[in-house]
Amino acid sequence: MKQAFFILAAIVAVLALMVVSGSFYTVNESQQVIITEFGKPKGDPITSAGLKFKVPFIQTVNVIEKRVLEWDGRPNEMPTKDKLYIKVDTFARWQISDPMQYFLRLRNERRAQSRLDDILGSETRNAVAKHDLIEMIRTTIGREPMQPDLEVSGQQGRGVNILEKITKGRAAIEKEIKENAKGKLAELGIDLLDVRFKRINYNEQVRSQIYERMISEREQIAELFRSEGNAEASRILGNKSLEVKKIESEAYKKVQEIRGEADAKATQIYAEAYNQSGEAAEFYEFIKTMETYSEVMADDTTVILSTESDLFKFLKSMDGTDKAAKPATTYPAFP
* Confidence band for 15, pLDDT divided at 50, 70 and 90: low
The mean pLDDT of the chain is 80
- 3-state secondary structure string across the chain: CHHHHHHHHHHHHHHHHHHHHHHEEEECCCEEEEEEECCEECCCCECCCEEEECCCCCEEEEEEECCCEEEECCCEEEECCCCCEEEEEEEEEEEECCHHHHHHHCCCHHHHHHHHHHHHHHHHHHHHHCCCHHHHHCCCCCCCCCCCCHHHHCCCCCCCCCCCCCCCCHHHHHHHHHHHHHHHHHCCCEEEEEEEEEEEEECHHHHHHHHHHHHHHHHHHHHHHHHHHHHHHHHHHHHHHHHHHHHHHHHHHHHHHHHHHHHHHHHHHHHHHHCCCHHHHHHHHHHHHHHHHHHHCCCCCCCCCCCCCHHHHHHHHHCCCCCCCCCCCCCCCCC
Can you give the pLDDT at residue 164?
63
Identify the bridge partners of residue 192 per DSSP, sorted by sequence position.
94
Identify the bridge partners of residue 71 per DSSP, sorted by sequence position.
92
pLDDT surpassing 60 at residue 18 = yes
Specify the range with the lowest mean pLDDT, choosing from 46-55, 213-222, 315-324.
Answer: 315-324
Comparing 150 with 10, which gets the higher pLDDT? 10
Average pLDDT value for residue range 121-129: 94
Can you give the pLDDT at residue 226?
93
Specify the range with the lowest mean pLDDT, choosing from 141-150, 162-171, 213-222, 242-251.
Answer: 141-150
* Confidence band for 210, pLDDT divided at 50, 70 and 90: confident
Can you give the pLDDT at residue 237?
93
Can you give the pLDDT at residue 193?
96
pTM (2 d.p.): 0.57
Can you give the pLDDT at residue 334?
38
Q: Which is nearest to 71 in space by CA: 177, 201, 225?
A: 177
Can you give the pLDDT at residue 333?
42
Can you give the pLDDT at residue 103?
93
In terms of phi and psi (left: phi > 0; alpha: psi -120 to 50; beta: otherwise), the region of 320 is: left
Quick one: angle between helices 170-186 and 109-129, nearest 10? 140
Q: Compute the distance between CA of residue 327 and CA of residue 335 in angstroms, rounded to an integer.
A: 24
Pairing mode, if any, of strands 59-65 and 85-96? unpaired
> 196-215 burial, b if ≥16 CB within 10 A, otherwise e?
ebeebebeeeeeeeeeeeee
Average pLDDT value for residue range 144-161: 47
Specify the range with the lowest mean pLDDT, choosing from 14-28, 97-111, 159-173, 315-329.
Answer: 315-329
Spatial contact of 103 and 34, defined as CB atoms under 8 Å apart: yes
pLDDT digits (tens, 9 = 90+) for 172-193: 999 999 999 999 999 999 999 9
